[in-house]
């Protein structure tokens, strides 16, 4: 088994949760999402983010609006929908449960 592959899969499994959480803090531009996710080592390749954002938009969990830019083409800013907030709340509960369960298991000697 390759440890790096397992680590990547673990990050991918949490990426949707992290993206929704970041967007839930306020409207965000895609490059700001990429910067935060990269700094947190949640994504290695930014090409991973665009398909995820499209899936979240199709599922009506996020929405976007175009904002004109003085320094180039219009920018797409994402925000979370009410349905997205409810979905995120459920994911947060699941995350807390997983953290609790994992801590129980890994704290035993």
pLDDT digits (tens, 9 = 90+) for 25-83: 999 999 999 999 999 988 767 788 999 999 999 999 999 999 998 888 999 999 999 99
Give the pLDDT mean for 13-32: 95
pLDDT at residue 44, as a whole number: 63
This model's pTM is above 0.95: no
Distance in angstroms (rounded) separating the CA atoms of residues 106 and 96: 15
Q: What is the structure's pLDDT at 72?
A: 86
Q: Which helix (H) or strand (E) holds 48?
A: none
> What pLDDT does residue 29 have?
93
């Amino acid at each position: 088994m390759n440890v790096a592959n397992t680590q990547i899969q673990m990050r991918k499994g949490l990426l949707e949760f992290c993206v929704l959480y970041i967007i839930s803090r306020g409207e965000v531009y895609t490059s700001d999402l990429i910067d935060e996710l990269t700094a947190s080592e949640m994504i290695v390749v930014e090409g991973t983010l665009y398909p995820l954002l499209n899936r979240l938009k199709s599922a009506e969990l996020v929405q976007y609006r175009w904002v004109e830019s003085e320094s180039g083409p219009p920018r797409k800013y994402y925000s979370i929908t009410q349905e997205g907030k409810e979905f995120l709340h459920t994911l947060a509960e699941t995350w807390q449960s997983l953290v609790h369960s994992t801590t129980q298991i890994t704290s035993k000697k």
